[in-house]
Amino acid sequence: MSQQPILLFVVNEAFFFVSHRLPIALEAQRQGYDVHIAAPSDNVWAPEDYSTAELAKLGLSFHRIPISRRGTHLIQEFWTFFALLRLYRRLRPEIVHHLTIKPNLYGGIAARLSGVPGVVYAVTGLGQMFVATQGPLRLLRPMVLAVMRVAFSHRNAKVIVQNTSDRAFLVDNRVVEIDDTVLIQGSGVDLELFKPAPEPECDPVVILPSRLIWEKGIQEFVDAAKQLRADGVAARFALVGNTHPSNPRAVPEAMLRSWAADGVVEWWGRREDMSRVMAECHIVCLPSKYGEGVPKVLLEAAAAGRPVVATDTPGCREVIDDGVQGLLVPMGDSAALAAALRRLIDGLDERRAMGAAGRREAEAAFGINDVVRRTLAIYSQLRSGEVGN
């Protein structure tokens, strides 16, 4: 058994951990923690470079657990819970840092039952269940809230939220006390990697970088591109991301290829060099209809000095002040999206001013070093027992 304090991250996707939380894990390791990650096997979103073997090379221990991001099969969900309970009892971590909804729910209850001394719940956006206005997800909400109240009731815990709307929702629904929450706006951005670069000398390029699922506003983006092309606007529009048939909410590959063949939008696929992607574009667009926390791509856009057009939703509002770092539009409104994009496509001086404002905001509030420092401070508080009811 390790003589170092064990810090365990539990997440529903190994790639998400690497792309969003690896700097925290590496700094914790440097400060003397024995860092472990529990997640499912690498899935279709994860490139080979981010395999569990790569985590092992960094000295991070990996534990495979069966978590389905979208699954609702009762036996499978119980299996996930008991797998976490067994892991906690065997590993005996000093702190468990849960990320995303299922690890927060199942891991939170398992942490209480197994006597984990300190727990972090990271709410990275409330997701579809808490923004749905009808349908089965809306009906499940009261039950999920009841489970959350139990899972989040550890006596020595902190809840990290990424935006004020999510914090208000959790407090108003008696899931947490406001004093037990910490607002950290997103996962941070490397300000040295993402730097402002001169705009490319070509027709303006508008990108939508995201997982290609419908909830990210893909259809609205395509409809806006069609409208602008019909109006004779000289610009290019590109989707940056991957899709996969196993995800029922994913945009079908055949549709992406059809759009590209028809010249509606370009499809660049998944890119690992996002700093270069930002330098190759003029405007970043995220018309999300999803329950975002703070989208990392908006932080990257701000750091790279690119203006943003996004929906006026929690998470996006944390990064973009309408008319300052970019423009906010109503959710699901492709006509408003097209108008906002045209304003920035035509407005060279305005988009450059907004890009510069975004960079200033990133330097002031979104640097990765500050996120790492504040998260490690939470771990120190939990170890000293300074928090709790």
Q: Is pTM beyond 0.75 here?
A: yes
The pLDDT tens digits along the chain (389 residues) read 558 999 999 998 887 888 889 999 999 999 999 999 999 875 544 444 445 677 888 889 999 998 876 556 678 889 999 999 999 999 999 999 999 889 999 999 999 999 999 999 999 877 655 555 555 556 677 888 899 999 999 999 999 999 888 999 999 999 999 999 999 988 899 999 999 999 999 999 999 999 899 999 999 999 999 999 999 999 999 999 998 777 788 999 999 999 999 999 999 999 989 999 999 999 999 999 877 788 999 999 999 999 999 999 888 988 899 999 999 999 999 999 999 999 999 999 999 999 999 999 999 999 999 999 999 999 999 998 765 43
115 in a structural domain: yes
Backbone angles phi, psi at 373, to 5 degrees: -60, -45
11 in a structural domain: yes
Q: Same domain, yes or no, for 146 and 290? A: no
Q: Same domain, yes or no, for 28 and 177? A: yes
Q: Same domain, yes or no, for 180 and 102? A: yes
Q: Same domain, yes or no, for 175 and 251? A: no
194 in a structural domain: no
CATH number where 118 lies: 3.40.50.2000
Q: Same domain, yes or no, for 209 and 118? A: no
The one-letter code for the residue type at 349 is: D
389 in a structural domain: no
Q: Same domain, yes or no, for 270 and 154? A: no
Q: Same domain, yes or no, for 264 and 148? A: no
Q: Same domain, yes or no, for 315 and 222? A: yes
How many DSSP H helices and E strands does the chain contain? 16, 13
Largest Cα span, the chain: 67
DSSP conformation letters of 294-330? --HHHHHHHHTT--EEEESSTTHHHH--BTTTEEEE-
Contacts of 55 (CB under 8 A, 6+ apart): 14, 18, 37, 62
199 in a structural domain: no
Q: Same domain, yes or no, for 152 and 238? A: no
Measured CA to CA, the distance from residue 284 to residue 258 in angstroms comes to: 23
Token pair listed for 156: 């020595």
Q: Same domain, yes or no, for 159 and 264? A: no
280 in a structural domain: yes
Domain membership of residue 154 as a residue range: 6-186+367-384
197 in a structural domain: no
Q: Same domain, yes or no, for 42 and 134? A: yes
17 in a structural domain: yes
Domain count, the chain: 2
Q: Same domain, yes or no, for 356 and 378? A: no
